[in-house]
Amino acid sequence: MTEQPREQWSSRTGFLLAAIGSAVGLGNIWRFPAIAYENGGGAFLLPYLVALLTAGIPLLIMEYTIGRKYRMSPPVALRRMARPAETIGWWQVVISFVIATYYAVIIAWAVRYMGFSVGQQWGDDPEAFLFGDFLRAPETPGFMDGFVSGVLWPLLAVWVVVLVILAFGIRNGIELANKIFIPLLGVLFAALVIRALTLDGAADGLDALFTPNWSELGNGSVWVAAYGQIFFSLSIGFGIMVTYASYLGRRSDLTGSAMVAGFANSSFEILAGIGVFATLGHLAAAAGVGVHEVATAGIGLAFVAFPAVISEMPLGGLFGVLFFGSLVIAGLTSLISIVQVVVSAVQDRTGMGRLPAVFGVGGLIALVSILLFPTESGIFLLDASDHFINQYGIALAALVALVVIVWVLRQLPSLQQNANATSAIRLGVWWRICLGVVTPIVLGWMMVDSLRAEFDENYEGYSTGFLLSAGWSVAVGALLIGVILAFLPWPAGGENPDLDMEAPAERKDH
């Protein structure tokens, strides 16, 4: 069969916007501010910067290099290193599949809350509105509940948008969408932050966030939190950056691109911290309480605390549209990248065309998402799945991949040589030490620390049966399905993963 040249980004800027769009997601807005506040305030920025330089950027460079060198999605790229390593790649693909199914639901909530902001339909009790009127969540989680139409229809819309963008391919779909979405996100969020800074009490919120508690630097959990935040916010460990980098030209600057993407992501997180805590300072002042009493994270921050602020501030409806609009755009750019991992893996292994892969594989992800999560117990399924797939999927898969690539296959010297051949900033011993020693130790400690907490008490007080069925089974199932996919007899006609199928035209400097 005649091999088709692999799609490529039209420019380095296009790739960077896509990479930044993937990294900047919901966690930047609702996770980083709370993590920083709880772990030393302004002092947290020191371990955060150390984690970025010793784990985040080195891992980004490694994933960029693997993607560009082997020009394939994670399963085939890792198989080209060593056939058994393909299992790790499929494990990452299944993790992306799982994350995509529930990530889309949160975007759907944000779509609805853009509309709710105009009339402030949550009334005087945003928490009761979220869990009762909107999500119709029961007291305890169950299975096979009724559908929640108010979540179902925006979820359908989210999936239509994502699949249509992916159907247009790398340049005309993903790259073009990010060229529109990322500048728009910057404008929306800048406007939101400026408005937040003008609120009464904003200074108190910023003092609470940035006043350094230097004594916390001696606490090991603070450093683990810093590495965890960097790790989970940069879209590393589950195949996204390997996939995106596989569409780069052969002469692309990898280390420089990793630096730009890493610092852009961190800058957005700090900006998000300013906007969030300025807003929380206003909420605390209005309620006559300390900032610590209103500081929260995740769903509680976005869909309970922020609506409470919107209800009592001047021009609250506009502020709400800006905030939830930012969540929608940040979520979409990340969701597109997550689904692309699965689509690309199937394309590379089967030779399937773009449209059949997007609407077949992407359609399957959308179907699972629509069947499971816009239900009355969907919030509980989402919470458990997210916790376990993050802790025992992404982090564990990254740890295994690092150990295999660095210590078993000893690929770092080859990858370093490949990156240095075209990069302005050359890699040295520091890069190998970070990936061979520092990052595996930190990831290993995160595993131990997380498991210890897991066995001390059930996550969020859920029943053991529910956690086994909706949490542990998801994490373990991702690994088992990855193993099965690695050993499946794939249909003839796909890329031969044992050969370098690089077309002559792709050797040119694009």
Residues whose CB is less than 8 angstroms from the CB of residue 453 and which lie 6 or more positions away in sequence, other chains included: none
Per-residue pLDDT, 508: 38
Per-residue pLDDT, 299: 86
Backbone angles phi, psi at 375, to 5 degrees: -115, 170
Cα 307 to Cα 59, 95, 271, 280, distances in angstroms: 37, 32, 20, 11
Encode the chain (510 residues) as per-residue pLDDT tens digits: 334 678 999 999 999 999 999 999 988 888 888 888 888 899 999 999 999 999 999 999 999 999 999 999 999 999 999 999 999 999 999 999 999 999 999 999 999 999 999 989 998 899 999 999 999 999 888 766 789 999 999 999 999 999 999 999 999 999 999 999 999 999 999 999 999 999 999 999 999 999 999 998 988 888 988 998 898 889 898 899 999 999 999 999 999 999 999 999 999 999 999 999 999 999 899 888 888 888 787 788 889 989 998 988 888 899 999 999 999 999 999 999 999 999 999 999 998 999 999 999 999 999 999 999 999 999 999 999 999 998 899 989 999 999 999 999 999 999 999 999 999 899 999 999 999 999 999 999 989 988 988 989 999 899 999 999 999 999 999 999 999 999 988 765 555 544 444 433 333 333
Contact predicate 68/250, CB 8 Å: yes
Classify residue 375 by its DSSP letter: B
| Residue 11 burial (CB count, 10 A) | 14
Contact predicate 157/104, CB 8 Å: no
Backbone angles phi, psi at 427, to 5 degrees: -85, 150
Instruction: Give the pair of three-digit tokens for residue 266.
Output: 């961190």
Q: What is the dihedral of CA 403, 404, 406, 411, to 10 degrees?
A: -170
Cα 475 to Cα 88, 111, 242, 358, distances in angstroms: 14, 29, 21, 25
What distance in Å separates the CA atoms of residue 426 and residue 308, rounded to the nearest whole number?
Answer: 49
Per-residue pLDDT, 360: 97
Instruction: Give the pair of three-digit tokens for residue 429.
Output: 């011993």
Candidate CATH numbers 1.10.1070.20, 3.40.50.2300, 3.30.560.10, 1.20.1740.10; the one for domain 12-489: 1.20.1740.10
What distance in Å separates the CA atoms of residue 48 and residue 500, rounded to the nearest whole number?
Answer: 39
Burial annotation 315-344 (CB, 10 A radius, 16+ → b, else e): ebbbbbbbbbbbbbbbbbbbbbbbbbbbbb
pTM for the structure as a whole: 0.93
DSSP H helices, 120-148, are 126-128
Helices 378-389 and 473-486 sit at what angle, rounded to 10 degrees? 60
Per-residue pLDDT, 139: 85
What residues does each domain of the chain span?
Answer: 12-489
Contact predicate 285/204, CB 8 Å: yes
Per-residue pLDDT, 231: 86
Closest CA relative to residue 435, chosen from 62, 14, 17: 62
